[in-house]
Chain A
């Protein structure tokens, strides 16, 4: 629970359960659009924490089976890497 008593689902982008539920109640029940409007799964953890929970929330709110809800694409790199390391330019410091 956050200070305001909200339940944080996506810790990278501080998205709450209430925000996700409100969007589903407005008719936005597709994980791809929920992801992009609320930025779940788009932070440094790449959705490792939040996406399984978001799937459960969508399943519960829409009556779908969690298996029917496909995970959004995972983006590389799996863990954040400094750009300098990727271009091999971090030697002098």
Chain B
């Protein structure tokens, strides 16, 4: 194991591997450490969705940029990460929701995201198995999409290594070395790595790493919530291609996996805060109640697998991205609240540029994602969490 690097990235999920790749691309000598296998935290447990349909300018602009990155990512990383623009379809059950959809659509359109209001009939054309009778309208953006989280993490890490990065899996950080408010490196269970820059990209585990650096555990109050997914046997491609979500139905969603055609079903039921990821039967019942109401034919489809992962939630469901002012050389990109995978390409690029150049060309609003906002008691408008 190397004993010295310019930058150490802690956390081998989509965010960490993206940061490592983008740093290596800028010629930085970077080491990434991951306590288990790459993707083992939240990325490999996510619902694969990538959307621009947020309700605030900062997230919409970042995600519009990210979709452009996703479109070219397979070519850039020379590995097919299976990104598809199959859309996100939100469905309204009340007139109030229809009005809210109209406001959202105006905001999306203002930033160039082509969301539009559609009728239940149009929704049924997009998702032939939809129980369209229960809905009043849809908020449809065909340019949202999905990708393969396994291949994405693999592709980022593979390319990072090709560019000179070192990646150490099954390597747990045990301490952060800070002297006179300056980062000097990290201690791991396999030895010490000296570095002047350390990036905390551990999402749900970020408060533990912050504490190692001498910060209060609640300096950035990220809490881990157990979210679960049920997956069915494969269906013929094209049955439920977009992510379909009636938010009023307990934030339940269904989306056909772009890889094998199985249907991923999720719902808003959460447990926590907890690091436990044991699947629970109450979730299985709850999620299928809603999924079979959205798509009644799912009753006849076999459930194959259920698993759980973390939403690393901040109080406003927006991540903390940026520099920690009180410790020179300490950076964070964590607390993605269920949006880490979809944001990873642009966040990795922005963080790498911030570290190397002190600024970025990525339309990432540093003020919005400021890690220090919580200690000032400031919150952003809450980002809607779904798939």
Q: Which residues of A contact B (CB under 8 A)?
A: 13, 28, 30, 32-33, 36-37, 39, 42-44, 46, 73, 75-77, 80-84, 86-87, 89-90
Contact = CB atoms under 8 A, between A and B. Distances in A.
B299 A89 contact: yes
B249 interface: no
B150 A82 contact: no
A26 to B, nearest CB: 9
B342 to A, nearest CB: 18
A46 B40 CA distance: 19
Given A84-B292, A87-B285, A87-B289, A13 B260 contact: yes
Interface stretch (B24-32, B91-99, B301-309): B301-309
B292 A73 contact: no
Given A82-B300, A83-B288, A83-B292, A33 B38 contact: yes
| 8 nearest A-B residue pairs (beta carbon) | A84-B299, A36-B150, A80-B302, A75-B305, A32-B37, A87-B288, A83-B288, A83-B298
A27 to B, nearest CB: 9
A59 to B, nearest CB: 17
Given A77-B304, A82-B300, A83-B302, 5 more contacts: A36-B44, A37-B151, A42-B260, A46-B304, A87-B288
B154 A33 contact: yes
Contacts of A89: 292, 299
B233 interface: yes
B247 interface: no
B279 A32 contact: no
Contacts of B154: 28, 33, 36-37
Contacts of A90: 299
Nearest to A41: B305
Given A81-B303, A86-B284, A36 B39 contact: yes
A44 B302 contact: yes
Given A39-B260, A87-B289, A87-B292, A82 B301 contact: yes
Contacts of A39: 259-260
A84 B284 contact: no
Nearest to A38: B150
Nearest to B286: A87
Interface in B230-276: 232-233, 259-260
Interface string B277-301: 0010000110011011000001111
B167 to A, nearest CB: 11
B122 interface: no
